[in-house]
Amino acid sequence: MHVTKTTCPYCGVGCGVLVQQDDNGIFSVKPDKEHPANLGRLCSKGTALAETIDHPDRLLYPEINGQQVSWDEAAQTVANRFRSIIEEHGPDAVAFYVSGQLLTEDYYVANKLMKGFIGSANIDTNSRLCMSSAVAAHKRAFGEDLVPCSYEDLEQAELIVLVGSNAAWCHPVLYQRMVKAKKYNPLLKVVNIDPRRTQTADLADLHLGLAPGTDAVLFNGLLNWLAENGYSADGFVAQSTQGAANALAAAKQSAPDIQTVAKLCNLAAEDVNRFFQLFGSTKKVVTVFSQGINQSSSGVDKGNALINCHLLSGRIGKPGMGPFSFTGQPNAMGGREVGGLANQLAAHLDIDNPQHRDLVQRFWQSPRMAAQAGLKAVDLFEAIHTGKVKAVWVMATNPAVSLPDSSRVREALEKCECVVVSDCVRHTDTVDMAHIRLPALTWGERNGTVTNSDRTISRQLPFLPAPGAARQDWEILRDVAHAMGFSTYFPYQSAHEIFREHAALSTFENSGSRCFDIGAWQQLSAAEYDALPPTQWPLDADGKGTQRLFADGRFFTASGKAQFISVEPRLPQSVRSAGYPFVLNTGRVRDHWHTLTRTGISPRLSAHSSEPYVEMHPCDARDQGLQEGGIARIHNALGEIRVRVKTSRNQQRGSLFVPMHWSDQFSASAGVGQLIPAVTDPISGQPEAKHATVAIAPF
């Protein structure tokens, strides 16, 4: 029996798993009891991992226009196409669109090549769709994109507020931890704030089914109420924060009392009062927020509105307290470490800061650096559509399905001069549109690290041979970098070498004032790297991790104080009309992941939700002439889909829910992305994926 200790490839919980291969070569997957994220638990997706390792439709060899070619020819062709476009149109005429599925080492090399050698910051990631609003809210409040909490805070809290989070389905192991915490501590209270009543509400003492998009009103109301009722931590606010007066004035203006909040949020005043009383009177409060906050045209403000409440009450940096962003993807956090977003630089350095750009350029010894932030995901594909960006390399993601206004994204890819896709699967909606296809390794074959929602860096280790000619993404990038003439700067022969460089950059000319520091790992041997225990960054000089941030009341702003943000609540941009009277919300189902390329091949996982559907209130279904199990046509000016009807009183009147997983490839006319307008938060660029307006009728 051979056992490999690795990390689940699905969500941002980052559970440790043990992959066992018996003497007959049969694999099984068990939870790693020693991993601090899951402590011996797994969800249905993690448990079924062994069923999804033999993908029947692997991309095994490089292809150019459908013809199999050698790696040398493929890498040279990508390099030549990119180089000729750069020579003619400049570096901003090319782009990478990468993924929170990449390992940190892959992400690091992609960013280094684009930002430091091609000289553009046109590299963005599908993490833009999942947590970029939280990133921006953290930066505004703390001066850095930092998640202050640790998973243990969920067990230590006396009140957990879950806002815009269906943790029961989307972060199931953390939900299990909360269920157990409540079982052993009956005094622990849970409040769930979500327009839908999801399974997560089963754990809640109070479910606030607020009107879609009104979260900032609720948290402004809470901020004002805390101040007026003596729950302000005056000493902490005076010593460790700034901007409270302005934020309080804005809160008082928009949400002056419980009655106004209740009216604007369409909640019962007694429920709002109960929530405010619970928050105010409970010492240890964790507020978990996720896509319901982030995927909004005012997602950054919503994040800051809830962070303001933790700052005012001093509930941050202490056990069982703090605002806690749950990330969607397995390595959304790792991508942030290496500057995975178009408006970031490696090692949490700032692309808009000339000193930071200079520091990274000197470390990389690169010939040119991106001089400014690049295009964010939605803008990037629009720039492809208009012809400004002429070549794109998509890595490990499926934007033809997952981006908003996906029909326009497809048009953009069809018009693009050069579409390169590296993926492990032969057919996805995006792979099918590529001129050059590059076969990538996937989970079980790849080697590297990922970072989960509480800053824990964990190893992913291979236990399967590489199939066909597939390579890890960093190897593909390295070979293209060599073909572009940068071989001296991309000498890597292993993920271990890249990780050491990444660690060294984090401590390069770092006087201890920077937040991301894993410098203690820059000299790791290959054996130490393979045996790296899960550890929360930043590290001290001895390599010891940090469980909780801001315990000393010091933040990473210029003043060292946390910044209150004045929030003027804004409602979603799409407004119901006579033609489009329903609000469409999108999200995940329990047993599937992204666009189904992995979970879709497991019959066990597909049994829970085997086909796309729309969930709606039974009275709305009746009024629209729809029946349970019938097929509905949902449409707006952007497109139309056809899905099965499920009725549920958990859905508000006038609201619909459609899962985001299915594309036309899995079920004809089911890709909900085509109904989502390309409306984004003006600061984060995150799309408003939870509020499109549509009409629904029988098909």
| Contacts with ligand SF4, residue ranges (CB under 6 A) | 8, 10-11, 13-15, 38, 42-43, 45-46, 172-173
Smallest separation, CB 17 to ligand SF4 (Å): 7
Q: What is the DSSP letter of 91?
A: G
Nearest-CB residue to ligand SF4?
Answer: 46
Nearer to ligand SF4 among residue 5 and residue 514 (C-beta): 5
Shortest Å, Cβ 21 to ligand SF4? 19
456 vs 647, beta carbon nearer ligand SF4: 456
Residue 301 token pair: 């403000």
The residue (of 38 and 430) whose beta carbon lies closer to ligand SF4 is 38
588 or 635: CB nearest ligand SF4: 588
Instruction: Provide, rounded to whole angstroms, the least separation between the CB of residue 171 and ligand SF4.
Output: 6
Q: Based on CB atoms, which residue is closest to ligand SF4, 11 or 396?
A: 11
CB of 427 to ligand SF4, least distance (A): 24
Give least dist CB 330 to ligand SF4, A.
Answer: 7
The minimum distance between CB 8 and ligand SF4, in angstroms, equals 3
Which of 598, 600, 572 is CA-nearest to residue 691? Answer: 572
Strands ordered across the beta sheet of 123-125: 67-68, 63-64, 436-439, 418-423, 391-395, 94-98, 123-125
Beta bridge partners of 448: 460
Q: State the nearest-atom distance from the C-beta of 153 to ligand SF4, in Å.
A: 17
Q: CA-CA distance, 676 to 690, in Å (whole number)? A: 8
CB 154 within 8 A of CB 180: no
Cα separation of 388 and 111, whole Å?
Answer: 21
Burial class of residue 66, CB neighbours in 10 A (0-12, 13-18, 19+)? exposed
Report the C-alpha gap between 477 and 472 in whole angstroms: 9
Q: How far is the CB of 38 from ligand SF4 (least distance, A)?
A: 6
Residue (27 or 142) nearer to ligand SF4, CB: 27
Q: How many CB atoms lie within 10 A of CB 491?
A: 11
**Per the structure block, which two tokens stand in for 436?**
């050059």
| CB of residue 222 to ligand SF4, shortest distance in Å | 29
Element (H, E) at 288: strand 285-289
Nearer to ligand SF4, 122 or 451 (CB): 451
Residue number, 175 or 657, with CB nearest to ligand SF4: 175
Query: Is residue 442 packed enough to be buried (19+ CB in 10 Å), middle (13-18) or exposed (0-12)?
Result: buried
The nearest distance, CB 5 to ligand SF4, in angstroms, is 14
Neighbours of 33 (CB within 10 A): 11
Nearest alpha-carbon partner for 499 in 337, 368, 333: 337
Alpha-carbon torsion, ordered 36, 40, 45, 47, to 10 deg:
150
* Residue 52 or 684 having the CB closest to ligand SF4: 52
Nearer residue to ligand SF4 within complex by CB, 169 or 582:
169
Q: What's the closest the beta carbon of residue 10 comes to ligand SF4, in angstroms? A: 3
The nearest distance, CB 152 to ligand SF4, in angstroms, is 16
Q: Kindly give the interhelix angle for 215-228 and 269-281, rounded to the nearest 10 degrees.
A: 60
Residue 301 CB, nearest approach to ligand SF4 (Å):
28
- Closest separation between CB of residue 393 and ligand SF4, Å? 27
- The CA–CA distances, whole Å, from 100 to 14, 107, 128, 201 equal 12, 9, 9, 28
Question: Cβ closer to ligand SF4: 42 or 670?
Answer: 42
412: three-class secondary structure by DSSP: helix
Helices 299-312 and 244-254: angle between axes, nearest 10 degrees = 120
Contact 557, 563 (CB under 8 A): yes
Question: Token pair for residue 251?
Answer: 């809160």
Spatial contact of 166 and 198, defined as CB atoms under 8 Å apart: yes
Pick from 56, 50, 63: nearest CA to 9: 50
Q: How far is CA 56 from the centre of its chain?
A: 28
Nearer to ligand SF4, 241 or 458 (CB): 458
CA 658/CA 635 separation, integer angstroms: 12
> Which CB sits closer to ligand SF4, 45 or 690?
45
Q: Could you give the CA distance from residue 594 to residue 592 in angstroms, rounded to a whole number?
A: 7
Cβ proximity to ligand SF4: between 38 and 295 the closer is 38
Q: Is the dihedral of CA 309, 315, 320, 322 positive or negative?
A: positive
Least Cα distance to 406 among 675, 586, 588 occurs for 675
